[in-house]
Chains A and B, each alone.
Chain A
Amino acid sequence: MHVVWLFLYPIVALVVGVLFLGLSRKVMARMHWRYGPPILQPVIDIIRLFSQRSASHGRLFDLGIVLSLAGSLIIVLFLPFGDVAPLSGSGGLLVILYMMLLGPLGIALSAGESANPNASIGISRKLMLAIGYELPLLLVLLAFMSRYNTISIVEVVRLQRATGWSIASFPLVVSGVAYLLILPAILAIRPFELVQAPQEISSGPMVEYGGSYLALAKVQHALSMFIGISLSVNLLFGGASHPLIFLLKMLVILMLGLFVNAAFPRLRIEQAIRYLWRWPSLIGLVGLVLAVVIGR
């Protein structure tokens, strides 16, 4: 069963991620009072993209996108999905934090090779945004690690099953609030959609991607959305004992994210960093201090 899940789980994540993408397009359309595309529209897009002849800018252009998608596929294996967590025993939260690097790094290398300044601007924004939300995120994750005194995410989920959701327990609720405040930045939705910003920098790192490259990049985007939401369910909302309940929780968080996405305009990168380093970081810091003081 273990081996089956090893291969099945990334596929499930992929399917769920792509469906979430379609769902979010539909829901956004309904919020705009539009009819909206069918939920399977991303699948149609991907089929179309794979049948196009795309332009390649060199070997690193190909390898970077492969690295990015492969990296995202294996982080999924580290995240508990209900009771399923095939590789969770190989390093815990620290490894997840580092593996989350591979996706953006692959895209960054590949887009850098495409020799388009729009792509470079997009990547520099992406990296700056990343250091913007990593600062509060690290405070939050460290609060969890010190509270539960473990670096294993499976352990975090197991302990929550005994003591209740961490967002409902006292010192961690502060960190949980900080996490929810930076979640839009992690998912790269509005108001933090400044990396792609089609109207300013021609969709940033994606500017030279067409055909199969864009298809893979879309799949990677879907996966990174899955990863971001799944991490928050596992950390804040107690994971789940069954994959279906887990999916339901993920759906709720996705909807929350979509409301934010529909309501806010895009920030400039400086505004984004200033926001992320002000309130979420402050709350995250308070959360970490509380977790350390009370946790002893």
Chain B
Amino acid sequence: MTVELLLGVALGGALLTYVLGKISPGLRNAFALLNALALVVMISLLYGQSFERALPLGFLGLELSVRMNMLSWFFAVTILGIGLLSVIYSLVYMRNKERLDYYYATLLFINASMLGTVVAGDLLSFFVFWEMMSWSTYLLISLRGGSKAIFAGIKYIVMSLIGSLTMLVAIVSLYVSFDTLSITELAGHVQSTTMGQALFVLVLFSVTFVIINALWPFHTWLPDAHAEAVSPFSAILSAVLVRKGLYGLYLLMYAMLGFSMLGKLAWGALSYSNVLAWIGAITIVFAAFRALMQNDSKRILAWSTVGQGGYMVLGVSVATNLGMAGGTFHILNHCIYIALLFFVAGAIEYRTGGIRDLDSLGGLIKRMPVAFVGGLVGICGLIGVPLTNGFVSKWLIYKSLVLEGRPFLAFAAFLGTWGTILYGYKFIHNIFLGQLPDRFRDVKGIPFTMAVPIVILTVLIFLFGVLPGIPLSVVDQVGTYLGFESLNVSIWGIPSETGTLNVVNLLAALAVAGFIVWLVLRAIGRSVSVDQDDTYAAGAAIPSGKYHYTVGFYSPLYRIVGPYVRDFVDAFFLKIAGWTGSVCGVTRKIYTGFVGNYVMYIILFLAALIFVQIAWSPW
């Protein structure tokens, strides 16, 4: 089993899906599903292998190569796994929509190009796959049509192109200096380079990766793009595509430059990893408070994606084995729960006729229990409630921050978590709890194929939360590949001398206590079930189905923090875009396209010259 075959299947499958779609939609769906499934099987067979191989075709005398190691494998698994679930979910979600051949082909193509970026062995093929990923994503963001979706797509592609161009400059600079683009060879050469060039390359690459990872000053494309894309694709965007930026940072910071080089790039407290960490911290707090103010189910999740990226960057930039494990594990966890949440939000949208406004939903737990359980578990993972996967990774990040003496960063991380609790509860409460409005009385549950990914991801959240040793052993191998000391991982958690984590103890205690309390409630308490309308309203009969407190759920808090958490960066970028637009508008007025005008410009110019000569005779 080779990586070339994997890439071939992925790219060929995307193309073949399009062709098959012209023959029969059923065949196309079956093939897309089969292709995604085959890729998952193939990648799981590649577990633990490590090799690098040159591709038979070269480019401009450069050798292209692919490679497989623990880092690539880890990211590849998340890409292909979420890709498979997303295809399963699309089968019903996208049914009866237009341009499905295009949708499935592009979806698989994006997966293939993301896979390409993580298995690329040299920077040129990395760049090529990166570009493929950028523009194909653009195609799918705007799939839904309408001015909002098109605008979101434009916003994304502009920022993404800026990122790609800075990366290209960095790649060319490396090539000119070292005459090779292979990542492993570069890692050796880079150690001997000057500080100036190292910093130059580092900053240019970082801009690219920070843009795609949507960290603070460059986050502005993400909320629009995620909210406007169709839900199965939002899941891919948010769970794996955004995290390609982190893959890039891993590659850059640890696989290429290495610790010694990173350590040298510091002037007092102002070091590269410190700056990155503070960007992460600002992102966490800012995104948490922005998410609080959203009223659109997918926009809340999009902002949470921005914020969670900050946690990963914090973990990565602390650069201890604990922080690294936390950051890496959080990538996996985030990919699980955010995909789940987007699937849930999509299911709500699908069943209620496209409603995403949190002010107009409510009470859906009675009609869509599976979606509720999925949503609740997903939000618990996002918050990091004990016994879900998010808890373990966040615990690792916090602990490394505290023990490394970075209490202010830890404070930002904690505060972000409390913001998460607030908007997470709002998400659950406004959609599922409270009174069921009359117009949703006949809403049906989730269709089977949409429920399958939701159930799988829900189970995974619990499994990885209770037995974190399973994924942590893989995460640990990623760490050791990048040159970190191995963690002493056991199946239930992490034993260490400065405070252990033992999740199974927690589970056992909670289970026993919960069982006892439940027993008391069952044995002694007697209760009768009552209708949702039978609630206390000072004796008045309440207006049934119209009595749900959702609008302005945290309005006192908005009034306090609202003025301080405006998205100044977004406004600034939009203003720049506006100026650019008006400059272009002015230019267009000059270059009208009429020959007569150009002749007039020439004559006017000559006349001016003659006038100047006559008046002052400078020549």
Q: Do A and B touch each other in the complex, judged by CB within 8 A? A: yes
Chain A residues proximal to chain B, CB less than 8 Å? 10, 50, 52-58, 60, 62, 65-67, 69-71, 73-74, 77, 87, 89-92, 94-95, 97-99, 101-102, 105, 108-109, 112-118, 120-121, 123-124, 127-128, 130-131, 134-135, 138-139, 142-143, 145-146, 149-152, 155, 202, 207-208, 211-213, 215-216, 268-270, 273-274, 277, 288, 291-292, 296
Per-residue CB proximity of B418-452 to A under 8 Å, as 1/0? Answer: 11011001001100011100000000000000000
The 5 sampled A-B contact pairs (Cβ below 8 Å) are A55-B527, A58-B366, A117-B434, A124-B549, A149-B405
**CB nearest neighbor in A for B292:** A131
B559 adjacent to A130 (CB under 8 Å):
no
Q: Is the beta-carbon distance between A211 and B527 smaller than 8 angstroms?
A: yes
Question: With A and B bound together, what is the CA distance between A260 and B34 in angstroms?
Answer: 67
Asked if A70 meets B527 with Cβ closer than 8 Å, knowing A90-B506, A94-B398, A152-B499, the reply is: no
| Interface bits B396-431 vs A (CB < 8 Å: 1, else 0) | 001100110101101100110011011001001100
A62, A87, A117: which has the most chain B beta carbons within 10 Å?
A117
Measured in the bound complex, the distance between the Cα atoms of B433 and A60 in whole Å is 10
Q: Is B574 an interface residue (CB 8 A)?
A: no
Is A67 a contact partner of B514 (Cβ separation < 8 A)? yes
Chain B residues near A155 (CB, 8 Å)? 499
Contacts of A90 in B (CB 8 A): 500-502, 505-506
Q: Give chain A nearest CB distance to B543 CB in angstroms.
A: 11
The contact string, 1 if C-beta is below 8 Å from chain A, for chain B 371-392, is: 0000010000001111000010
Please, which residues of chain A bring their CB within 8 A of the CB of B521? 62, 65-66, 212-213, 216
Residue B363 at the chain A interface, CB threshold 8 Å: yes
Q: Is the CB of B526 within 8 A of A60?
A: no
User: Which of A74, A91, A151 is B513 in contact with, Cβ under 8 Å?
Assistant: A74
Q: Are B556 and A128 touching (Cβ within 8 A)?
A: yes
Contact status A91-B395, CB under 8 Å: yes
Q: Is B189 at the interface (CB under 8 A from chain A)?
A: no
B50 at the interface (CB under 8 A from A): no
Binds A, one of B96-104, B166-174, B334-342, B529-537: B529-537
Using known A-B contacts A114-B535, A120-B434, A212-B525, determine if residue A143 contacts B407 with beta carbons closer than 8 Å: yes
Q: B residues within 8 A CB of A10?
A: 513
> When the two chains form their complex, are residues A211 and B560 in contact, meaning their CB atoms are under 8 A apart?
no
Q: Is the CB of B429 within 8 A of A130?
A: no
B19 at interface, CB cutoff 8 A? no
B365 at the binding interface (Cβ < 8 Å): yes
B80 to chain A, nearest CB (A): 32
Could you say which of A77, A95, A146, A269 contacts B407, with CB atoms under 8 Å apart? A146
Q: Which of A66, A268, A277 contacts B518 (CB 8 A)?
A: A66
Known A89-B502, A269-B556; judge A70-B514 contact (CB<8 A): yes
Report the bound CA distance from A121 to B419 in whole Å. Answer: 18
State which of A77, A131, A208 has its C-beta within 8 Å of the C-beta of B536.
A208
Tell me how far the C-beta of A45 lies from the nearest C-beta in chain B, rounded to whole angstroms.
14
In the bound complex, CA of A274 to CA of B557 (Å): 10
Instruction: List residues of chain B with CB within 8 A of the CB of A73.
Output: 513, 517
Contact yes or no, A130 B434, CB < 8 A: no
Known interface pairs A70-B514, A115-B434, A138-B411; A127-B554 also in contact (CB < 8 Å): yes
Contact A109 B428 (CB under 8 A): yes
Partner of B411, one of A115, A142, A151: A142
Q: Would you call B402 and A151 a contact (CB within 8 A)?
A: yes
Residues of B within 8 A of A207 (CB): 535-536
Question: Are A123 and B425 closer than 8 Å at their CB atoms?
Answer: yes
Instruction: Determine how close the nearest CB of chain B comes to the CB of A65; give it in whole angstroms.
Output: 7
- Using a Cβ–Cβ cut-off of 8 Å, how many residues does chain B contribute to the interface with A? 70
In the complex, B200 has a CB within 8 A of chain A: no
Give the nearest-CB partner of B536 in chain A.
Answer: A207
- In the complex, what distance in Å separates the CA atom of A47 from the CA atom of B56? 81
Complex CA–CA separation, A135 to B532 (angstroms) = 36
Type the 1/0 row for B343-385, where 1 means its CB is closer than 8 Å to any CB of A.
Answer: 0000000000000000000010110000000001000000111
Given A53-B526, A74-B510, A138-B418: 16 more A-B contacts, CB < 8 Å: A67-B514, A73-B513, A91-B499, A94-B395, A98-B384, A101-B383, A109-B433, A115-B547, A116-B536, A116-B537, A145-B407, A213-B525, A213-B527, A216-B520, A270-B556, A273-B560
**A112 and B532 within 8 A (CB):** no
Q: Which of B517, B530, B554 contacts A70 (CB 8 A)?
A: B517
Beta-carbon contacts under 8 Å, B472-508 to A:
498-502, 505-506
Specify which chain B residues have a CB less than 8 angstroms from the CB of A145 in the assembled complex. 402, 407
B528 within 8 A of A: yes
> B395, A95: Cβ atoms under 8 Å?
yes
Q: How far is the CB of B251 from chain A (nearest CB, A)?
A: 31
Q: Is the CB of B556 within 8 A of A273?
A: yes
Query: Cα distance A212–B526 when bound, in Å?
Result: 7
Min C-beta distance of A234 to chain B, whole Å = 15
Chain A nearest CB: distance from B271 CB in Å?
18
CB distance from A156 to the nearest CB of B (A): 11
A130→B421 contact, CB < 8 A: yes
Which of B386, B532, B557 interacts with A95 by CB under 8 Å?
B386
Q: Are A55 and B530 interface neighbours, CB within 8 A? A: yes
Q: How far is the CA of A138 from the CA of B415 in the complex (A)?
A: 8
A73 to B506, CA, bound (A): 12
A128 and B548 CA atoms in complex are apart in Å by 19
Min C-beta distance of A288 to chain B, whole Å? 6
Complexed CA–CA distance, A87 and B398 (Å): 20
Q: Separation in Å of the B225 CB from the closest CB of chain A?
A: 28
Judged by a CB distance under 8 angstroms, whether B509 is at the interface is yes
Judging by beta carbons under 8 Å apart, are B556 and A112 in contact?
no
Query: Do B534 and A55 touch across chains, with their CB atoms under 8 A apart?
Result: yes
- Known contacts A135-B415, A142-B407: does B514 contact A66 (CB below 8 Å)? yes
Q: Please, which residues of chain A bring their CB within 8 A of the CB of B383?
A: 101
Tell me if B31 counts as interface (CB < 8 A to partner A): no
Which 4 A-B residue pairings sit nearest by Cβ, starting from the closest? A212-B525, A112-B433, A70-B514, A120-B549
Measured between beta carbons, the chain B residues less than 8 angstroms from A296 are 405
B501–A91 touching, CB < 8 Å: yes
